[in-house]
Amino acid sequence: MPYLHVTLRSASDLPSGDFSFVGGKSDPYVTFSVNDTKYRSPCLKNTLDPVWDPPEHYVFPVADALSAVLSVKVYDMDTLNPDDLLGTLVVPVAKFADEMDVSTLEHYPLSLASEFTSQKRDSMLLLEICLKRLDDQERHLYVWENESWCINSGWKSTNDSERQQWSSYDDSATSAAFSEVAPRAPANMEGSGWQYCLNRGDVEGWLYAKTFAGPWTPNKLTFSLVRRRLWENTFKLSSD
């Protein structure tokens, strides 16, 4: 089975979700889906030209490269109202079938949502995409650790009905038990062990926000009431 590798690097000239304000900005994030596999990027605050650093990397199994499509949506996060859809992009996976295992870095134009076309933006997404014949010899699995701030006891593991100490990378599952949300180890692969990522967040890998809806920042602000950090396990093909 081939696998589609998508790397989100940046976006440019996005519409302003708060266009009524002078110098209006957006709090953009991006969702990706191929068939039933879905991902959501971190939200970057107060920008029309977001850069994800480090880039976000997603892998999608592709049962049929000729019929599958990569669906991309860019949203502006709103803490009080439903998030605004800024624009969309649909990329046929077949576009990459003739050059398997070759990465292409390309600016893709967004189709803006009707309520933002009056802003006359030339909105683009910079994506690196590669359709690989086989799964990588190396896979990276992720889990989020969640904590909440309590005025009496400081930072404590989150434990409520909507969010507990551990959650899956796509936030579809959460539990007080790590084992209940950790992805299964890929077949015939050995893991290096779980450790938290230091290439994002503060010196201990924590990202901060007012709520778990984000947007997230590596710096603790006055109203930062929750935080999370990413744990990673790198798997490689077994030598057996």
| Cα-based torsion angle of the residue sequence 70, 198, 102, 35 in order, rounded to the nearest 10 degrees | -20
Model confidence over 55-86: pLDDT tens digits? 998 888 898 999 999 999 999 988 778 889 99
Judge contact between 220 and 149, C-beta under 8 A.
no
pTM value > 0.85: no
pLDDT at site 140: 83
Q: Phi first, then psi: what are they for 52, rounded to 5°?
A: -90, 110
Domain at 3-132, CATH from 3.20.20.80, 2.60.40.150, 3.40.190.10, 3.40.50.170? 2.60.40.150
Confidence class for position 21, pLDDT limits 50, 70, 90: low
Q: What residues does each domain of the chain span?
A: 3-132, 138-237
Model confidence over 94-123: pLDDT tens digits? 999 999 989 999 999 999 999 999 989 999
Q: How are beta strands 226-237 and 189-191 bridged, if at all?
A: antiparallel
